[in-house]
Amino acid sequence: MAQPQHFIRMKQHRLLYGRVPKAANSSIKAALCRLLSERPPKGTKTTSDKFWQTETNDETELITLRKARKYRHNHVSFSFVRNPFDRLIAAYNNKVIEIEEPPLPMQRMGISHGMSFGDFLDVLMATPFNRYDVHVLPQSQLLCLGRQIVPKFVGRVEQINDHWSALRAILARQGIDVMESLPQKNVRRTERNSLRAYFHNDQLIDKAVQLYGDDLQLFYSDCSLNQLIDNESLAPIEPLQSRSLKLSSWLRQHGFRRHRLTQH
């Protein structure tokens, strides 16, 4: 299976964006559109892969994670991640409940419209990652090669205002001026404390942890499972920033420990 092209490369700006669906992806792409020398015509679907690959006058291209790693040394690279439990429910509600037919990759996995959340999790458990639809693929699979994280900057959606400001400062030093605040795109479920209705027993929680354990350990190791499932406001934390591809120094700094992933 060919490696998917999850990164947008903006050639002139030497900028790489690692796309994570259901993690402010549409809003970030809308902001990046402002960096194009020619604004897309009104009505253009700027969220589509086709737009970024073929409709930007060769200013951008979609590239694989492996190719993004090669560009990393001379490009600014960034991404944003989201509470894995929250992201999973956003994908389930949008792709399984709200629309009449799930995307074809989900159908090939065995996912059908209206199926229960428990059955949905069982399909994910039975499917290898290389057959996953991108909306449910772990964020670590989108952003990491082995134990190497490709983007130099990884912010959290839960602290997106502060982390976007930090990213803007980095980009400004490279002469890249992005929007001060992100446009609100594809915002749906906003009520807080709404995940317990889905993760209402330990079995469901355990399955999600098995599937998204790497995401929890890499990006949310400072949080308890209860905090994430209750969708609580998280304590401020600096975005992940690493010039080196190796994760070890960042993980030591942020107390990366497997035992942190508890419900206490």
Is a pLDDT exceeding 80 seen at residue 132?
Answer: yes
What pLDDT is recorded for position 3? 64
pLDDT at position 193 is 59
- Going by their DSSP bridges, the two strands 60-63 and 7-10 should be labelled as antiparallel
The two three-digit tokens of residue 14, written as one number: 């030497």
Q: How far from the centroid of its chain's Cα atoms is residue 26's Cα?
A: 11
Q: How confident is the model at residue 245 (pLDDT cuts 50, 70, 90)?
A: low
Report the C-alpha gap between 236 and 24 in whole angstroms.
18
Question: Which residue in the block uniquely carries the two structure tokens 């429910």?
Answer: 89
Which pLDDT belongs to residue 246?
56
Nearest to 229 by CA among 105, 106, 116, 89: 89
Tell me: the pLDDT tens digits for 12-44? 999 999 999 999 999 999 999 999 998 888 888
**pTM tops 0.75:** yes
The pLDDT assigned to 187 comes to: 52
Are 64 and 4 in contact by the 8 Å Cβ rule? The answer is yes
pLDDT of 135 strictly over 70: yes
Q: Given this model, what pLDDT does residue 211 score? A: 97
Least confident of 19-23, 103-107, 189-193: 189-193
Beta bridge partners of 60: 10
pLDDT band per the 50, 70, 90 thresholds, residue 247: low
pLDDT at 28: 96
149-157 mean pLDDT? 95
Task: Report d(CA 80, CA 22) in Å as an integer.
Answer: 10
Burial 19-30 (b: 16+ CB within 10 A, else e): bbbbbbbbbbbb
Average pLDDT over residues 236-243: 88
Query: Quick one: pLDDT at residue 248?
Result: 46
User: What pLDDT, on the 0 to 100 scale, is given for residue 44?
Assistant: 84
Q: What is the mean pLDDT of residues 165-187?
A: 86
Cα–Cα distance measured from residue 198 to residue 257, given in angstroms and rounded to the nearest whole number: 27
Range with the poorest average pLDDT among 16-20, 103-107, 183-187, 241-245: 183-187
Domain coordinates of the chain in residue numbers? 7-260
CA distance 70 to 62: 14
Average pLDDT on 232-248 reads 80
Q: Which of 118-127, 167-176, 193-202, 249-258 has the lowest mean pLDDT?
A: 249-258
Strands 15-18 and 76-81 turn out to be parallel
Q: Higher-confidence residue: 192 or 226?
A: 226
Amino acid at 58: D
φ/ψ of 105, rounded to 5, equals -60, -35
Residue 71, classified by CB atoms within 10 Å of its CB into exposed (0-12), middle (13-18) or buried (19+), is middle
Q: What is the rounded average pLDDT for all residues in the chain?
A: 88
pLDDT higher than threshold 60 for residue 146: yes
How far the first Cα of the chain sits from its last, in Å, is 40
